[in-house]
Structure 1
Amino acid sequence: MGRSNLMGRRKLAAVARAIAEVQTPGRRRRSEGKQAAVLDAAQALFLAEGYEGTTVDAIAARAQVSKRTVYDHFGDKETIFLRVLQRVTDALVGTVRTAIDEELAPGRDLREALLGFGHRIVDRAFASSDYSAFHRLTSRQRPVPRLPAAVRDRPEQMLAERFAELAAQGALRASDPGVAARHFTALTIRSAQEATADRLDEGEAAGDGSPSAVAEQIIADGVDAFLRAYR
């Protein structure tokens, strides 16, 4: 009898949970809104104060939620940091996917395509987002939680996949598209990103030596060097 009652209570609890999930879309939206507020607050604080200098109390205060709410949704500061990194990475992946489809299109002049791709990534993914700041945060400070390599490397993997297609079409000589993608990124995007960040940190004025002009020249030189090796 006792066992039957226990099974009955478990079934009722399962039904109640299922009903709650179906009948509370408003509660679900409020929960998602709180999660977004916490991530927005955390991102701003991590960029301003660094990982070690940011506390869960500060995140909760900035997000205007209780500390308990932060812990209920995310568990701890490391998880929050990784979720913020994932969100930044997801935005970058979306930008890279669009740039590959629109700039590295079949039949387009290869140099023109690579120049367009490089400028698109530097101008839209780095200059107009928090990606550069988070790149510095994760690469220069220790210890800082890191996303799995497969997640971090996804943008370069997508570029390698397109380089493999270009190699199959005879547009590139790339026996290892992954290596070619890393070489291209190092010669163009990463070099332009680092130079731009350094000049912005130094507060240089616009002009012929402005960060955008420097990045443009780095990308052009990098594309030419890449094509000399791979075409």
Structure 2
Amino acid sequence: MAKTRTAAQIPGRRPRSASKRAAIMNAAEALFVADGYEYTSVDAIAARAEVSKRTLYNHFGDKQALFQAVFERANDALVATVRTAIDQELTEGRDLCDALTAFALRVVTGTFPSSDYVTYRRLTSQGGPASRSPETARNHPDRMIEECFAKLTAGGEMRAVAPRRATQHFTALTVLLALDTLGGDLANTVNKAEIRSIIAAGVDAFLRAYRSPPTSPPAIPEGHPDPRHDAAVGPPARAT
């Protein structure tokens, strides 16, 4: 006798509960972004997701928990994008100026125009409960840059006694200044050369303050011959 397979056992299909949960989150995200947290009702979310209010409450409990789930999904997507940029641009052994410039350019020209960033920014501006949670703060992209600067300082390439403050200075001089230039133009149609110029100038200013100075040769004790002088002068000439 043939056995009937459930939806979870059929390749390419997800359980209906997972599909409904995704539909609820997608509907909630669209409404939170368009109308804001306060003006979005559970009834409207359920209607857009084509589920009952009871199904919505079974999955998320209440509107606040639903907003938190939506916000965390957007935050996770943004964190993953920034993490990839850090891993691929701020690589060990690469010139620090080149690495920071490439990283900032990638964030501005790649991340800002993305739907993930637009969603994250608009949800943050709603002032919903999740955007102020300690867990979200710990997973903020700035924390990853802070960790990177701490490692560079430990390795001797930077002198950032306070990595968090260094991160604030870096983002202000590069990413935020470029964002201010873009204004609402997140489609990034502003002249790319202008953005590159802003970021290059910002990285230069940042490194003037935070780059470790080149290592100086050891001091020669007083009264001892300087081997560098001997090497430059060469051996004494033979008497004729």
Is the Cα–Cα contact under 8 Å of residues 39 and 80 in structure 1 kept in the other structure? yes
Shift of 1:224: 1.6
Larger Rg over CA atoms: 2
Q: CA offsets, 1:59-96, max 9 Å, x none?
A: 11111111111111011111111111100110111112
Shift of 1:167: 1.2
Cα distance in 2 for partners of 1:192, 1:43 equals 27
Does 2:124 correspond to 1:138?
yes
Q: CA offsets, 1:5-32, max 9 Å, x none?
A: xxxxxxxxxxxxxxxxxx8846972211
Cα distance in 2 for partners of 1:123, 1:70 equals 37
Q: CA offsets, 1:26-76, max 9 Å, x none?
A: 697221111111111111111111112211111111111111111110111
Greater fraction helix: 1
Q: CA offsets, 1:157-209, max 9 Å, x none?
A: 2111111111122211111222211221222223323432x2428x9x94xxx
Q: SS in structure 1 opposite 2:185?
A: helix
Equivalent residue, structure 2, for 1:125 = 111
Is the Cα–Cα contact under 8 Å of residues 24 and 45 in structure 2 kept in the other structure? yes
Return structure 1 stretches of 4+ with deviation > 6 angstroms: none
Structure 1 pair 158–130 and aligned structure 2 pair: CA distance change class (3 A): closer
Structure 1 pair 39–230 and aligned structure 2 pair: CA distance change class (3 A): same
Aligned length: 201
Equivalent residue, structure 2, for 1:216 = 196
Equivalent residue, structure 1, for 2:133 = 148
User: Which blocks of at least 5 consecutive residues in structure 2 are unaligned?
Assistant: 1-5, 212-240
Q: 1:200 aligns with which of 185, 196, 209?
A: 185
Shift of 1:102: 0.7
Point out the more displaced range, 213-222 or 71-80.
213-222
Equivalent residue, structure 2, for 1:18 = none
Q: 2:45 aligns with which of 59, 62, 65?
A: 59
Equivalent residue, structure 1, for 2:207 = 227
Q: TM-score, normalised by structure 2?
A: 0.74
Q: TM-score, normalised by structure 1?
A: 0.76
